[in-house]
Amino acid sequence: MLAVPARRRVWDSVRAATQPVSVSELATTLAIHPNTVRLHLARLVEAGLVLEAVETDRHPGRPGYRYRAAGADPATDAGAYRRLAALLAYAVRSRVSAREAGRAVAASEAAPLAGSDPVEAIAGALAQEGFAPEVRAAKHDHIEIVLHACPFADAAAEDPATICELHLGLAEGTAQAIGGVEVDRLQINNPYQAGCRLELRRTAQPLRRG
């Protein structure tokens, strides 16, 4: 399915979009003829990788459609959910909350990164998890990391109180292990649209050394 390069590009573009996209928007972004985009979208919809919805604000005439990703990349989905299962199993064994479990595991995993830039370390950890992070500087010492993908969209949609708190804990654990930054909050968005925002603040706390 996704071995076709052009179809993979369409899929990646739909997943990266912060809101449902139209055929014309995809065609412009990818420099592909709209009919080719429609063909690939039809296959992706048929496979259940993309969801199609009728545009509600169009003028009378031929209906238009917008598309959004239905879930994670099947090539990495199994690995992502194995990771999620391991983290939740740790929480059960340790009798702690999902957030506390994420914090403890991340602090242990980030220990070798002591002395490195904490924002880069947190963004790197999020990238490895599959969140497609983008670091944005804000006023003064505040930093925002926008998450352009959610590798656990289905699970997060079912139980955001557990899944999103778990990943907030992962960010907090990385910050704890390195120092120099504090995690203020995670602003949660619809997991199928992604766009969650992790808000950080640099502090006077010295970086920890390995």
Residue-wise pLDDT tens digits, 26-84:
999 999 999 999 999 998 888 777 888 887 665 565 668 899 877 555 556 677 888 99
Instruction: Provide the token pair at 177.
Output: 């292990």
Locate CATH 1.10.10.10 in the chain: 5-69
What CATH class is the domain 5-69? mainly alpha
pTM: 0.64
142-147 β-sheet, strand order: 133-137, 142-147, 196-202, 181-187
Token match 């545009």: residue?
A: 55
Amino acid at 36: T
Q: Where in the chain is the domain with CATH 3.30.1380.20?
A: 74-202
Write the CB contacts of 126 (distance below 8 Å, at least 6 apart in sequence): 133, 145, 147, 170, 171, 198
CATH homologous superfamily of 74-202: Trafficking protein particle complex subunit 3 (3.30.1380.20)
